[in-house]
Amino acid sequence: MSMAVGGGKKGAAIADINVTPMADIMIVLLIIFMVITPMLQKGVDVKLPIATNTKERKDEAKTIRVAIRKDGQVYLNDIPQKDPNELTPQIKERLEDLPEGQRTVYLKADSELDYSEVMKVMDLIREAGVEDLALIAESRVQGQGS
C-alpha cells in the first residue's frame, strides 16, 4: 500500500489506481498487432509466386476467389471443393449475382504447383463463362533477389 504524501490524515492509504503498468502493456500489444497484421494472409494458405509488375486491389465482399494449394486441393472462396469439376456450376451461380463490370475471378495458386494443374483449373473457370481472370502474385520488394 502507498502512503499519503500531501493533505489528509497522516498514514492514510491512497485509493487511486495506478494505470501506468496497464497503459504500458496496452502500448506493447498495440505495437505487436500493428507489426503482425500486415503479415497475415487472408484466405487459403498458398505460397504465391513473386512478380514485379503487380497492382494492389481492394478486398470486396462479393469477389470470387479460387485457390489451389500445393497438394492440388481447390478452394472456392475459402471453401474446399471435393470435386474440382463442380467448380464450373458453382462459379456460374455466383457470377449471376455480380454486376456486369465486376465479373472477375481471382486465382491464386501455389508457386510449387505444376503448370498443368493450374491450367486445368483455369479451363474449368473459363467454362463457367468468366472472361476476366486475374492471377494473384506476391509483390517483389525493392532489393529482394530473384
Q: What is the pLDDT of residue 26?
A: 94
Q: What is the pLDDT of residue 53?
A: 63
Of 87, 90, 84, 89, nearest in space to 72 by CA? 84
Q: What is the pLDDT of residue 28?
A: 95
Other Cβ atoms within 10 Å of 105 Cβ, number: 22
Tens-place pLDDT, residues 79-101: 888 887 788 888 888 888 777 77
Mean pLDDT of 115-128: 87
Of 130, 134, 58, 145, nearest in space to 96 by CA? 130
Q: Are strands 50-51 and 138-139 parallel, antiparallel or unpaired?
A: parallel
Tell me the C-alpha distance between 136 and 145, whole Å.
20
Q: What average pLDDT does the structure give for the chain?
A: 78
The alpha carbon dihedral of 117, 75, 132, 46 has a sign of negative
Domains of the chain with CATH codes: 50-139 (3.30.420.270)
Lowest mean pLDDT among 18-32, 46-60, 92-106, 131-145: 46-60
Tell me the pTM.
0.60
Tell me the C-alpha distance between 119 and 109, whole Å.
10
What φ, ψ does residue 66 adopt, rounded to 5°?
-120, 130
Mean pLDDT of 98-116: 81
Residue 126's Cβ-count burial label (10 Å; 0-12, 13-18, 19+) is middle
